[in-house]
Structure 1
Amino acid sequence: MDIISSCSQVQQTCMQARHSGRTLALVPTMGYFHQGHLSLMRWAREYCDLLVVSLFVNPAQFGAGEDYQHYPRDLDSDVTAASEEGVDILFTPGQGSLYPEDYATWVEVEGMSGKLCGRSRPEHFRGVATVVCKLFNLTCPHKAVFGQKDWQQLIIIRKMARDLNIPVEVVGRPIVRQEDGLAMSSRNAYLDREQRKAAPMVYQGLLYARERFESGLTDPGQLERELERYYQKNLPQGEIDYVQIVDCNTLDRPDTLKPGALAAVALKLGPARLIDNILLG
């Protein structure tokens, strides 16, 4: 495995590989790898000749007062894990190489970026779209693989690639969960013992929402209210950021529940902000 930090070097290497007819896949990450990340690498490894994993804690997607400085990092462990998964290039750019002092260009997907997580994190998806666009330009992938836990991010990146005519297939892969249902996330490291014990209720609430849909509930507003009450009762130590039912492709609120609706939630549990989702139907 090659570890490359230079933007020009990784771009030249990937362009040469693509020109020679090799297929490239990119897995963008912020590191601190868990089984969710590794599942993306394993899937991508099966569909490409050259697997690139980027590791960059992107300051542009963190707002004021958020956890950029404290975001978990363990480069040595990440290098070992990536090598064991057959990664060909681990791209580890420095902040200055992606955002030089005079940096002034941003990518923003209007509309979608202001929904769900974007309501409480208004600059977040501008930072996400910008850095992913740069990574696409630098690594020239045929496929880019993202986890579905960040469903809003996945939909926004797909639209960005489509709108900007970037020749990449944006692939979403299923959420990887702990045995008790908690969606794997680097931020789970923030949870203390009691918070970790309570955290699976986030997913249990989503299963409850699915059951209510399957029992015939068709009013999205009623389902949102019932799910909020579920969390207030079963996860009282959690602070609800949002509980919303949206169309899985547009992120718009449907008038009536039908298959393809997405129940999406974000709750703060201690220092950790936990997001999760489930498809209805």
Structure 2
Amino acid sequence: MKTVHTVSDLREAVDAYRQQGKRIALVPTMGNLHAGHLALVHDARERADIVITSIFVNPLQFGPNEDLDSYPRTLAEDQNRLADAGNDLVFAPSAREVYPNGIEYHTHVTVPAITELHCGASRPGHFTGVATVVTILFNMVRPDLAIFGEKDFQQLAVIRKLTRDLCLPIEIIGMPTFRESDGLAMSSRNNYLTDAERHKAIRLYEMLCETAERIKEGRRDFSTLSNEAIKTLDQEGFHPDYFNIVNSDSLEPAAYDDHNITILGAAWLGRTRLIDNVSLRLDPETD
């Protein structure tokens, strides 16, 4: 497996793959890789001839009081894990390589409407950072397909929209959330949890599942269900950010007759912000 740090070296490698007629998959990451990331690489391996994983902690998607400086950077360990997973090329650029004139002077990509909801409401500018860096990576790597985890459900929706709107010839694939044995969604930020918090963290996923069951049983008072979940999480020591029941496609609040529904949840536990989601499809004939 090869690692490159510059766009010129990346393009030289990609051009060689293209000349060989290879199909290229991109797995964008911020590093500190866990089994969920490696599952994306394994899936990419099944879909393409060449798998490129990018490792870049993107400063543009971190707010002023967020964990940019403390975000774990583990390139050597990540390289070993990726080599074992069958990855072909690691692209690990510096911030200067991605934003040569500084982020304040760089062109930004803004996806309207959908980025103003949920995580976008509590993290202003976050999805502009995501959309900008993903567009840059797409143009640097020029992949045939790119794979993202569904844990970041809103992020995936944003990337799908920008790819459609900008007519980018890239297939976007979402992979189911990879979970720990007790159901907790895998995340690099789980390392911030204390032992006691780690034991409690599963309650967010459990609350999402419990709410999904109530909807399957026939409840459609979505606002009340959301408020009940927020109250329960608050009582159990979380600081809920949001708990929203939405249409899976638009991410707007779910309507009574919607059949594709996603429940999005975000909550702080200590200094760790957890996000997760559960999707369900309701049978219109039995609804």
DSSP-derived class of the 1:149 partner: coil
Question: Residues 101-112 of structure 1 correspond to what in structure 2 (within 5 A)?
Answer: 101=101, 103-112=105-114
Percent of aligned pairs sharing the same letter: 42
Question: Structure 1 residue 134 and structure 2 residue 136: aligned?
Answer: yes
Paired letter, 2:141: T
Q: Distance in 2 between matches of 1:111 and 1:248?
A: 15
Instruction: Report the counterpart of residue 166 of structure 2 in structure 1.
Output: 164
Instruction: Report the counterpart of residue 272 of structure 1 in structure 2.
Output: 272
Shift of the 254–10 alpha-carbon distance from structure 1 to 2, 3 Å rule, reads: same
Contact 2:247/2:255, CA 8 A, preserved across alignment: no
Instruction: Report the counterpart of residue 146 of structure 1 in structure 2.
Output: 148
Aligned-CA RMSD value: 1.2
Once the 2 structures are TM-superposed, how far is the Cα of residue 104 of structure 1 from its aligned partner? 2.2
Cα offsets for 1:4-30 (capped at 9, x unmatched) = 001122123213423432100000000
DSSP-derived class of the 1:70 partner: coil
Contact 1:18/1:140, CA 8 A, preserved across alignment: no
DSSP-derived class of the 1:107 partner: coil
Q: Distance in 2 between matches of 1:211 and 1:278?
A: 11
Instruction: Report the counterpart of residue 251 of structure 1 in structure 2.
Output: 251
Paired letter, 1:270: G
Q: Matched residue pairs, number?
A: 279
Instruction: Report the counterpart of residue 95 of structure 1 in structure 2.
Output: 95
Deviating more after overlay: 101-110 vs 190-199: 101-110
Question: Structure 1 residue 223 and structure 2 residue 225: aligned?
Answer: yes
Paired letter, 1:68: L
TM-score by length of 1: 0.96
Once the 2 structures are TM-superposed, how far is the Cα of residue 257 of structure 1 from its aligned partner? 5.7
Instruction: Report the counterpart of residue 183 of structure 1 in structure 2.
Output: 185
DSSP-derived class of the 1:273 partner: strand
Paired letter, 1:110: P
DSSP-derived class of the 1:66 partner: coil
Q: Distance in 2 between matches of 1:115 and 1:76?
A: 36
Report runs of 4+ in structure 1 exceeding 2 Å deviation.
Answer: 101-104
Q: Distance in 2 between matches of 1:52 and 1:257?
A: 42
Contact 1:2/1:89, CA 8 A, preserved across alignment: yes
Q: Distance in 2 between matches of 1:16 and 1:77?
A: 27
Q: Distance in 2 between matches of 1:199 and 1:268?
A: 10
Shift of the 257–195 alpha-carbon distance from structure 1 to 2, 3 Å rule, reads: farther
Cα offsets for 1:39-78 (capped at 9, x unmatched) = 0000000111110000000000000010000011211110
Structure 2 unmatched runs, 5+ = 282-287
Instruction: Report the counterpart of residue 8 of structure 1 in structure 2.
Output: 8
DSSP-derived class of the 2:167 partner: coil
Instruction: Report the counterpart of residue 285 of structure 2 in structure 1.
Output: none
Contact 2:111/2:158, CA 8 A, preserved across alignment: yes
Contact 1:15/1:139, CA 8 A, preserved across alignment: no
Paired letter, 1:180: D
Structure 1 unmatched runs, 5+ = none
Instruction: Report the counterpart of residue 29 of structure 2 in structure 1.
Output: 29
Q: Distance in 1 between matches of 2:112 and 2:133?
A: 16
Shift of the 42–160 alpha-carbon distance from structure 1 to 2, 3 Å rule, reads: same
Paired letter, 2:197: Q
